[in-house]
Amino acid sequence: MAKILRDPFLRFGAVIVKTGQYLFALAAALVLLLVPLSVVFGDNVLQAVHQHFAFADSYYPVGSVVTLLLFVSAVLALWWMFFRYLTNIVDTVVEGDPFIASNASRIQRMAFLLLAIQLIYIPTAAFGLIVETAFKGPTSEVDVFWDFTGLLMVITLFVFARVFRHGTDMRSDLQGTI
């Protein structure tokens, strides 16, 4: 256990994971704060859009902006949850006993969170296109694609969850025979 605590990569990783967790929470809170501000100051936003893009027919789609902000805050909140589970797993590594049933459950939840994030990206991009088109005109385009790496990570996490679950079952069986 002392060797694990001295591992500089583990300590660095723990700092990065905890920092990420706090940053995602802060970002989600700030985006949620923008929801009422986008409604109250919609006219000011539209003025800034007119000045920036010089598109005379631009308009401010309040409902689409609010929906886009809510989707973005939902994605950020899901990332916060993902990092919370990852922080819990890193903590068990630091304690010296990561191969426990709760970590298998955490990894499976992390896989479901990543899957949800991948699925929420689709309507988020659609509302992003609606807002951008309203601001910049019909020449706007938003790239929407299925992220193969994200899908691969989801599958990998589901496999790791199974491996952890099987390993903890084998460990408990072994402890029962001693």
Distances (CA, A) of 136 to 31, 54, 64: 22, 8, 15
Q: What is the pLDDT of residues 2-19, one digit of tens each?
A: 455 678 888 888 999 999
Q: What's the predicted TM-score (pTM) here?
A: 0.85
- Summarised one tens digit per residue, pLDDT across range 110-138 is 999 999 999 999 899 889 888 888 887 77
- C-alpha 140/C-alpha 97 separation (Å) is 52
Query: What letters, b where the CB count within 10 A reaches 16 and e where it falls short, cover 4-17?
Result: eeeeeeeeeebeeb
Would you state the pLDDT for residue 129? 87
| Local structure of 24: helix, strand or coil | helix
* Per-residue pLDDT reduced to its tens digit, 76-121: 999 999 999 999 999 998 888 888 999 999 999 999 999 999 999 9
Instruction: Flag whether pLDDT at 149 surpasses 70.
Output: yes
